Amino acid sequence: MRNAAVALLLSLTAAALLPAQSIPVNLPAPEHGLFYKTPATVWDEAMPLGNGMLGALVWGDGKPLKISLDRGDLWDLRKVPEFYSDEYADDYNFQRMLEWRRAGRVKDLIRLYEEPYHRPAPTKIPAGRIELSFGDDAKFESARLDLRRAAATVRLAGGVTAEVFVHAVEPVGVIRIRGTEKIHLRLAAPPFAGQVKEAASGGIGAGDLRQLGYPAPEQMSGPDWSAYVQEGAEGFRYAVYVAWKQEEDAWFGVWSIASSFERSNVLALARRRVRAALREGYPALQASHAAWWDRYWRASSIRIPNAVVERQWFLDQYKFGSASRRGAPPVNLQGVWTADNGKLPPWKGDYHHDLNTELSYWPAYSGNHLEEELAFLDWLWETRDEGFYWTKRFFRLPGLNVPMTADLKGRQIGGWRQYTHSATTAAWLAHHFYLHWKFSGDRKFLAERAYPYLKDACIFLEAFTSEKGPDGRRRFPISSSPEINDNRPEAWFDTVTNYDLALTRWLFQAAAELADELDLMEEARRWREVLSELPEFAVDPEQGLLVAAGYPLEESHRHFSHLMAIHPLGLIDWSQGAEAQRIIRASLDHLNRLGTAHWTGYSFSWRAALAARARDGATAERMLEIFSTAFTLRNSFHCNGDQSGKGYSKFTYRPFTLEGNFAAAAATQEMLLQSHTGIIEVFPAIPASWEDVAFTTLRAQGAFLVSAERQGGRVVRVEVTAEKGGVCSLVSPFSGKILRLHMKPGETRVLTRDPE
């Protein structure tokens, strides 16, 4: 009898765990993409294409059809002398900055730290444009961006079609035109040469490209090709080469861009790539391109009943796959879609580390795109020497910090002094090394990159906070909270802000955790000792987390820097119980009371993620809907200001940056799957109205791939695959119990109810 009972129990358990019908992948459909019945007449409403290194924007009405060109490493990299020449060494250092601040020498601080950013260089630069004309009778009918194929198709009257894609793997762009022989191609270089018409501001409108002072390009052409070579600053050069041929019933063209970061003979390199692609032919190029994107789309998917939010997620995942690719530079403010309007890109297209780069990579982790995310971490690792040099030069301390505004080489380029010279920038960047380890389970990465990066950041902050106050707690010589008080003198605080404190507390806690994982017990004790000496968070019973002790957030503000401890760092988390939940509620209620008048688009994305951490699916959904309908342009680009006319924000400008897009995708994923506590929860923050919802192979910490489906308001299936093996801790959606699944590497378990 006992054996029969055991057999019955085993059979029931097996029934709960054995694979059955898998949850289908929801691939992007036509309604997820872009469809225009009227042409885009400005560059920032164009249809975006890219492969991380090359980018293109397709726009215009056929008279001409325009393809704006970009490449990720096209930069004017002139050093800022104030930050790197010996002439300024006596004044450009942390102690002198403190002295000037105490003496009220605001004009001197602005002159040294901020005015350099108002110059045109360093800056990201555009590549140029291909213009295709089809005769005076050309008439636009429609344009479509097919996300699944990553291709834009423009239709003109008379059956003329032009299909354009940037190859997913090869460094080329492809054009195929059918239905006409009236094709005239013009290759236009950016207007770098000539008289300056608009001076730089160093901000949203960075001014005329002519300020850079480049010579006119060297242009050349033949019967089936056109090219130019552009000389930039300090010997930098790049070449654009396009060639074409007739292939069966279609005109087939290919372009490429080569930079002198690759080799000196840029024209020969671009030509070789184009000619090789022409020999390969359109069918082969299209097949290999489509294969890469098919793998990308199958890495994860969602199916939710809110069509607006679902479409935005697909559009943003598409942009992420187009803008970030290992082996290419990471996503800057505009990625591979630099402005094509004769001007420098907004904020010079740089790397902003007080929010922009970090938010841009949030969706990669649970979105199961770690390979694409490594573009960011590789770059941070490869530019560490610049960080070490700058830390020693400016702070005169050991360890690693990173300039908050940086060029392609990771060098300081200036801006608002309180943030560009923040002490905790490397700590926030270190969070991404930590997340990669937690989501990948890659022990080699842990030992060789994640822990060393955190350790170097710890060494710096240990030294920076070495002075202690009367209470025995470590002190910050000066502190700030992006972008509270903008660049006014009061943007510096004498007491530590919750922003700086959250990053510092998180860093030492995480470093100790990783040191334990590597059996570095002495180092773990060292980091925990520093952690024990740090102050506690400044909290008010009614307002929750303050900006700093005695300093509440008093007006609507775009940057939720004071709430870092809640999200993304998770130091104060809903799972910790009543007191943590009280702080979270008070903090978010205070945000609600202050309103959204001074929010930008990314604020709504971040607020959605905060709501998801607070288990408030209705607010998360509403924030994402507002983001998508009011703070994106026609092509889904995040445009910072409110375009709806509904008064969501007093900011109504339209500079394009990407972080709001990618933070929105990450917030949607937070609604569907959370694992930041080490325990996996499916559907932790969805609205009650989402009765039918599913996702496939979202990634959880511990290197577990999770799929789940909810039907009629009830979870019916959860699938877990263990990449690395180990114990998978999962909150059962059936009973609420915490399940501990011991899994082998590669093993998949399917739950349709709790195991017996």
CB 152 within 8 A of CB 164: yes
Tell me, yes or no, whether 20 and 128 share the same domain: no
With a cut of 70, say whether residue 420 has pLDDT above it: yes
CA atoms within 13 A on the CB side of 297: 22
Identify whether the C-beta of residue 717 lies closer than 8 Å to the C-beta of residue 23: yes
Average pLDDT over residues 117-136: 95
Residues 60 and 163 in one domain: yes
Residue 642 belongs to a domain: no
Q: Which two tokens stand for residue 309?
A: 């939010």
Cis peptide before 64 (omega within 30 of 0): yes
Peptide bond preceding 483: is omega within 30 degrees of 0, i.e. cis? yes
User: Are 755 and 739 within 8 A, CB to CB?
Assistant: yes
> In this structure, is residue 133 part of a structural domain?
yes
Q: Give dist(CA 105, CA 370) in Å, integer.
A: 46
For 315-370, what is each residue's pLDDT tens digit? 999 999 999 999 999 999 999 999 999 999 999 999 999 999 999 999 999 999 99
Coil, strand, or helix at residue 342?
coil
Residues 17 and 130 in one domain: no
- Per the domain annotation, does 198 fall within a domain? yes
- How many angstroms separate the CA atoms of 244 and 223, rounded? 9
Is 15's pLDDT higher than 70? Answer: no
* Mean pLDDT score, 39-52: 98
Handedness of CA 630, 632, 638, 640 (dihedral sign): negative
More confident residue, 603 or 11: 603
Q: What does DSSP assign to residue 112? A: I
pLDDT-wise least confident of 16-20, 23-27, 215-219, 633-637: 16-20
Does residue 182 form part of some domain? yes
Is 145 in the same domain as 266? yes
pLDDT attached to residue 4: 35
Supply the CATH number for residue 717's domain: 2.60.40.1180
Angle between helices 370-382 and 425-440 (to 10 degrees): 140
Tell me: do 48 and 158 sit in the same domain: yes
CB burial class (10 A; 0-12, 13-18, 19+) of residue 739?
Answer: buried
Q: Given a cut of 60, is residue 19 above it in pLDDT? A: no
The CATH number given to whatever domain includes residue 193 is 2.70.98.50
Q: Is residue 587 part of a domain?
A: no
Burial class of residue 725, CB neighbours in 10 A (0-12, 13-18, 19+): middle
| Mean pLDDT value of segment 642-660 | 97
pLDDT bracket for residue 16 (50, 70, 90) = very low
Handedness of CA 271, 122, 167, 184 (dihedral sign): negative
- Give strand ranges (E) for 505-575: 539-540, 544-545
For residue 659, pLDDT beyond 70: yes
- Categorize the per-residue pLDDT at 139 as very low, low, confident or very high, splitting at 50, 70 and 90: very high
SS3 content of the chain, % helix, strand, coil (to 5): 35, 20, 40
Answer yes or no: are the C-beta atoms of 447 and 374 closer than 8 Å: no
Q: Are residues 241 and 176 in the same domain?
A: yes
pLDDT at residue 501 is higher than 50:
yes
CA dist 628 and 670 (Å) reads: 17
Q: How confident is the model at residue 194 (pLDDT cuts 50, 70, 90)?
A: confident
Does the pLDDT value for residue 302 go beyond 70?
Answer: yes
Residue 660 phi, psi dihedral angles, 5° rounding: -65, -40
Tokens matching residue 368: 């199961």
Residue 545, pLDDT above cutoff 90: yes
Q: Secondary structure of 427-473 in the HEC alphabet?
A: HHHHHHHHHHHHHHCCHHHHHHHHHHHHHHHHHHHHHHCCCECCCCC
For residue 628, give the H/E element and its range: helix 617-630
The 10s digit of each residue's pLDDT in 364-415 is 999 999 999 999 999 999 999 999 999 999 999 999 999 999 999 999 999 9
268-291 mean pLDDT: 97
The reply to whether 143 and 279 lie within a common domain is yes
Same domain, 162 and 266: yes
- The 10s digit of each residue's pLDDT in 145-169 is 999 999 999 999 999 999 999 999 9
**Confidence category of residue 205, pLDDT binned at 50, 70, 90:** confident
Q: Tell which of 264, 280, 298 closes a domain.
A: 298
Task: Evaluate whether residue 164 is within a structural domain.
Answer: yes
Together in a domain, 131 and 162: yes
Domain of 239?
33-77+119-298
Residue 100 has pLDDT above 60, yes or no: yes
- pLDDT value for 18: 35
Q: Last residue of some domain: 298, 317, 350?
A: 298
Cα–Cα distance for residue pair 687/615, rounded to 1 Å: 9
**Residue 244 to residues 8, 60, 278, 456, 725: CA-CA distances in angstroms?**
70, 21, 8, 51, 51
Considering the domain boundaries, does residue 733 fall inside one?
Answer: yes
> Locate tokens 């945000």: which residue?
591
Contact 720, 739 (CB under 8 A): no
Q: Which of 268, 298, 328 is the last residue of a domain?
A: 298
The mean pLDDT of 70-81, rounded to a whole number, is 98
Q: Kindly compute the dihedral angle of the four CA atoms of residues 296, 299, 302, 308, in this order, to the nearest 10 degrees.
A: -20
- Band of the pLDDT at 202, cuts 50, 70, 90? low
DSSP annotation of 396 reads -
676/699 Cα distance (integer angstroms)? 11
Question: Is 136:360 a contact under the CB 8 Å cutoff?
Answer: no
**Using 50, 70 and 90 to split pLDDT, how confident is the model at 201?**
low
> Is residue 597 scored above 70 in pLDDT?
yes
Per-residue pLDDT band for 197 (boundaries 50, 70, 90) equals confident
Q: What residues pair up with 304 in beta bridges, in sequence order?
A: none
**How far, in Å, CA of 242 to CA of 263, rounded?**
19
Spatial separation of the C-alpha atoms in residues 415 and 300, rounded to whole Å? 38
C-alpha Rg value of the chain to the nearest Å: 27
pLDDT at 718 over 70: yes
Sign (positive or negative) of CA dihedral 333, 334, 336, 342: negative
What does the alpha-carbon distance between residue 518 and residue 446 come to, in Å, rounded to a whole number?
A: 8
Residues ≥6 apart with Cβ < 8 Å to 637: 44, 45, 48, 337, 656, 658, 661
CA distance 452 to 529: 19
| DSSP-H helix ranges across 640-701 | 659-672
**241 falls within a domain:** yes
Percent of the chain with pLDDT over 90: 94
What single-letter amino acid sits at 740? R
SS3 state at 231: strand
Do 62 and 190 lie in one domain? The reply is yes
Q: Scan for tokens 């699938």, then name that residue.
A: 719
Q: What pLDDT does 8 receive?
A: 30
Mark whether 40 and 157 lie in a shared domain: yes
The residues near 322 (Cβ < 8 Å, ≥ 6 apart) are 48, 49, 50, 51, 52, 55, 150, 166, 335, 336
Residues 266 and 221 in one domain: yes
More confident position, 197 or 25: 25
3-class SS of residue 645: coil
Q: Is the pLDDT of residue 14 over 60?
A: no
Domain count, the chain: 2
Q: Are 499 and 428 in contact (CB under 8 A)?
A: no
